[in-house]
Structure 1
Amino acid sequence: MAIDLGRIEALATDQASLKAAAGLAKPGKWFGVGGSADGALIWGECAGSGANPYRVMADLRDLGNKCTCPSRKFPCKHVLALLWLNAEAVVTFAPGEIPAWVGDWLGRRRGASAAPAGAAAKPASDAPKDLRAAQRAEPEAPEDPKAAARREALAAKRSEDTERAILDSLDALEQWIGDQLRMGLSAFIDDATARCRRIAARLVDGKAAALAGRIDELPARLLGQPAGDRPRAAVVELGKLVLLARAFRSAPRDADIRRAVASSENRETVLASSDTVRVTGLWEVLAEQVQTRRDGLVSQTTWLLNLGPQSPRFAMLLDYFPASAGRRTSAFTPGERFRGEVAFFPGRNPLRGLLLQRAADGSDTQAWPEAAADLAEALTAPLHAEPWVLDIPVLLPRGRVAIDAAGQGWWRPADATTALPLAEGVEGLIRGTELTRAAALWSGNRLAILAAQTPWGRIGADG
């Protein structure tokens, strides 16, 4: 049986599917590729975003196909890529025994009349019918122990390959950092955007996507500093990257470290773990931060404060969506309170969470919890545990914001012990007002106030 690119093009639902398939039509993305002795059936497994690969199969006699991915397109990009591999003989579809999962699918198709060999692809208007068939609930057959063992072996190999790729990319990162220091911080700051973009691309290729995103945003963080502070900030940022790279080498399975370098656990993994910390109670929305990233995504961060009697507990809800989708309506309003349950991602100091339940609460009399008795300890302890973190939420005691002669904003505690510089200028009511409590983010050298309580009510950072 033979198929050409013209038929694949006709089979695709849109141009975007063809483009995505082209990116997958590479030998390195597939394993277990094979075909039936008569050449009518082809199959293969393609690594996806989950722990298990997607199983893809196609019948070249009538171009019937199946993929285990959750795509709503029929055929999906994985099917198109498999057909593409076959059409251009990119890989060898060695004749072999039909896998059980292909046989099960073929058996379910036998009731339908097959189109003759060489029939044209179904027009796009037939897609809804095929989509419903692809989404039909199917009983799962008992799992073959040998197949399960093979799957576990493949998963272990993929994990090993991923870890090796990450380690190689971290080697490249440390070499890059050394190069920046040798060439001088001034040159690095002036050309930070282009230089960071190049190493970030290398990290993406090495499966260190989270670290790549952090480096891609590094120039913006540097430019957000006063000009005189940028060299110091660059040294701190690069130093944190070295610490994170070396921490990964020593403990690649550590949840905090892996989340900062590669990717975070999915929702299902967090909720299924017996070690997941869950906190139920009254929460207040402190602030929302929306940032358009260089990779075309918008990060939407919502900061919550638990109003229980325990020491201050913060929660960070993090969501991403494409910038092309436009500004999304927020599900939260700064200052609102609700009763809910938050499940936290694992870590030494759990912070990122998932909101599981939410119910409106009319209470507006519950006070914020007491600030930490030792402010210096609250600011430095998280850095001792994870010196590469960017922001630490902290609840400040009674104090006020003041402006010095140079226009720099400072938070000053009521006891006039240690003043802390603010990350940016402050305007409005928060400037000069007595703050009975203030929730802020500490970057290691500057504060960014999220919200504050005053003797006459709550105010946001913008006053």
Structure 2
Amino acid sequence: MLLSHGGELSRATGPVARWTVEQVRALAPDDASRGAGSKLGAAGPWSGSGCDPSGAVWGLCEGGGRAPYRTVADTTGPAYTCSCPSRKSPCKHALGLLLLWASGESALPVGEVPDWAGAWLTERRERAEGKADQRAAGGAPAAGPADPEAARRRAERRAERITGGAQELEERLADLLRGGLAAAGQPGYAFWEETAARMVDAQAPGLAARVRELGAVPASGPGWPVRLLEECAMLHLLDSAWLGVDRLPGPLAATVRTRVGLTVPAEGPPVRDAWLVLAQYDIPDGRIVTRRIWLYGRETGRTALLLSFGAAGRSPGLALPVGTTLDAGLTFHPGTGRLRAELEGPAGAAEPGGTPPPGGTVAEAVGVYGAALREDPWLDAWPVTLREVIPVPSGDGWQLRDAADGAALPLAPAALSRPGLWKLAALSGGLPVTVFGECGHRGFDPYAAWPAEGGDDPASGPVPLI
């Protein structure tokens, strides 16, 4: 079964550098895969394994059947294939093989690619080169005949359904406020789920998601009525913006369309840069898993967000090792923030290592988030890099304190229950560190960190915290 992502990368022009163990572990689609892959990261279950300078890694892994599983990885993608029945990408066998490869040059011998692995590698790389040649010639794969008029009518019908849903949501919010918020705190209160279902029927998944979030506010502790009123006000603002979207400036209108759940395609020429992979993590949402990958452009100084999706138990296809640097082009989606982007080929091999982004102070991070809020009032958080901060306990939580002026940001509640918090504390050891994450109204959510000056080499890449 083929397990690879859609962003095809070009053949490496020189020897591919070996990844670190942490970078391989960051590729795991979930904790169970990470644990199972770690158990296969030793030479014991493997035979016929090897690697070559072009970035190919292969091996035969003992399994439950008579025949071993055939596992191949192309680290220039990265992409993976395995004969096991797993639907995860990468599967535990691919993770184990890459962990074995990352453990040192003596773990896997350099040799000639066997026929059973070479067939898949050749087909994958020829396909990538074919796409690159087509783009260089200014062409694109033919998508078949399109009917612009039919597409326009479909878009109009969906916009009408969303408008109807927004109007109904306004009426429901008015009824809720007219009757008082006390009923919203009753156990088993079904208002939110019913309202969310109505927004799904109206083809407005963004509105549905926000309504479901409101349902959790009454259980969030003391002061919930104030927070619920604030969130209802933000939802009312989004409704009103959609109902008047034709009168909004272009970037804000694109943001509103995205917030209600419409897909706004990427546009404009690709931005070519050496992109450092800062973080990768998955967010389950019912039957869909969303993978978020944060990148930083060395030359442009831009931060970018790649999204990929997996459905019905399948892992999202796109996977990039945290801490590697990728020479690639990104096409950005319109909107006020212009963070979300699409990976465009061809791209160079992902090379390990990279120093952190320049970063700023705690005060500057709060200022950046405030400026972003002026452009997008529904923004929960904004990506920032904090320089020279120290993680310290604070009451029932933790905070990141600026080593220079003592200003501090509390860590977001979501970060307090993750193992990454203890990784961050251990990496710091009471000394300043550089941390990348999202700064928002709930606090700072750390995703990756680099050691303090004088510690381990920051150029070796970040330590994933999520």
TM over 0.5: yes
Structure 1: 5+ residue stretches without partners: 1-136
Q: Structure 2 vs 1, CA of residues 246 and 331 (structure 1 numbering), >3 Å: closer, same or farther? A: same
Identical counterparts, % of pairs: 25
Q: Note if contact 2:397-2:410 (Cα within 8 Å) is conserved in structure 1.
A: yes
Partner Cα separation in structure 2 for residue 446 and residue 237 of structure 1? 17
Counterpart residue type for residue 441 of structure 2:
G
Please give the residue correspondences for 1:38-437 in structure 2 after superposition, counting only pairs within 5 Å: 152=149, 156-185=152-181, 187-188=183-184, 194-219=190-215, 222=217, 227-228=221-222, 230-252=224-246, 254-266=253-265, 270=266, 273=267, 276=268, 278-294=270-286, 296-308=287-299, 310-311=300-301, 313-322=302-311, 324-327=312-315, 331-357=319-345, 358-362=347-351, 364-371=353-360, 374-404=364-394, 406-424=395-413, 425=416, 427-431=421-425, 433=428, 434-437=431-434
Please give the residue correspondences for 1:25-44 in structure 2 after superposition, counting only pairs within 5 Å: none
- Deviation for aligned residue 1:454: 2.0
Residue 73 of structure 2 is matched in structure 1 by none
Partner Cα separation in structure 2 for residue 328 and residue 245 of structure 1? 31
The alignment's TM-score, normalised by the length of structure 1, stands at 0.57
- Deviation for aligned residue 1:394: 1.6
Q: Structure 2 vs 1, CA of residues 412 and 255 (structure 1 numbering), >3 Å: closer, same or farther? A: same
- Deviation for aligned residue 1:158: 4.4
Deviations 1:213-258 (A, max 9, x none): 34335546x48x9623644443333222122111222224722211
Counterpart residue type for residue 170 of structure 1:
A
RMSD after superposition: 3.3
Q: Note if contact 1:392-1:442 (Cα within 8 Å) is conserved in structure 2.
A: yes
SS at match of 2:407: coil
Partner Cα separation in structure 2 for residue 333 and residue 183 of structure 1? 52
Partner Cα separation in structure 2 for residue 410 and residue 192 of structure 1? 35
Q: Note if contact 2:277-2:296 (Cα within 8 Å) is conserved in structure 1.
A: yes
- Deviation for aligned residue 1:435: 4.0
Partner Cα separation in structure 2 for residue 438 and residue 371 of structure 1? 10
- Deviation for aligned residue 1:383: 0.6
Residue 465 of structure 2 is matched in structure 1 by 462
Deviations 1:275-318 (A, max 9, x none): x2632112222222212213x2111111222233x44x221111
Counterpart residue type for residue 307 of structure 1:
R
Partner Cα separation in structure 2 for residue 193 and residue 412 of structure 1? 40
Structure 2: 5+ residue stretches without partners: 1-141
User: More relative contact order in 1 or in 2 (CA 8 Å, sep 6+)?
Assistant: 2
Q: Structure 2 vs 1, CA of residues 171 and 462 (structure 1 numbering), >3 Å: closer, same or farther? A: same
Bigger Rg over Cα: 1
Partner Cα separation in structure 1 for residue 369 and residue 438 of structure 2? 10
Residue 448 of structure 1 is matched in structure 2 by 445
Deviations 1:401-442 (A, max 9, x none): 1111x3211121123353221113163241272344221112
Q: Structure 2 vs 1, CA of residues 389 and 417 (structure 1 numbering), >3 Å: closer, same or farther? A: same
Counterpart residue type for residue 391 of structure 2:
V
- Deviation for aligned residue 1:449: 0.8
Partner Cα separation in structure 1 for residue 382 and residue 188 of structure 2? 25
SS at match of 1:396: strand
Q: Structure 2 vs 1, CA of residues 436 and 348 (structure 1 numbering), >3 Å: closer, same or farther? A: same
- Deviation for aligned residue 1:378: 0.4
SS at match of 2:273: strand
Partner Cα separation in structure 1 for residue 182 and residue 383 of structure 2? 31
- Deviation for aligned residue 1:139: 10
Number of residue pairs matched by the alignment: 304
